Structure 1
Amino acid sequence: PTAILVFKKNRTNRDIFFIDASSEFEKGKNQNRLTDENVQKILDTYRERKDVDKYSHKAEFEEIKENEFNLNIPRYVDTFEEEPPV
């Protein structure tokens, strides 16, 4: 897995924007690849900074503080898919 962190100087807000793009790739023989469409989806989501179910979440400082400053992505972006009952 890969994580990309973007830091900005002179920010006026204290929120952190999380994107879980772990399912956004094209399977390869020896290594997986991000397609142009995958990259564009990530960039568009980052620019808009909007919550997308199972993909992205903007966490306010208070929410991060409540989570004891744990920045583990699954804590903020829930990608769990419930299995149908058998």
Structure 2
Amino acid sequence: MALRFVGIDPGSSDGESPTVWVDDENNELVFQGWKPSPELEAECAAMEIPGHGTGIPEGEAVIRIPARMVAMIREACDALERPHLA
């Protein structure tokens, strides 16, 4: 797997680094973010949405990404939609 780095949260202090990558091989976005509080995770797990089961399935996680990273998330989405130029 070859990840393509898109960006890191410019507002993070040293040692904290919400980050966005593109996985071209699997056509996926990859995020590193903060773990949610137990209360937020429980709220996400309990939410009932049509077509979406409650709970957080094994192998999935809830993460938090700051809103100031929206532009780099858009950039990552655009990168997945266009061919990667070597």
TM interval, short-chain normalised: under 0.3
| TM-score of the pair, normalised by structure 2 | 0.20
Higher strand share: 2
TM-score by length of 1: 0.20
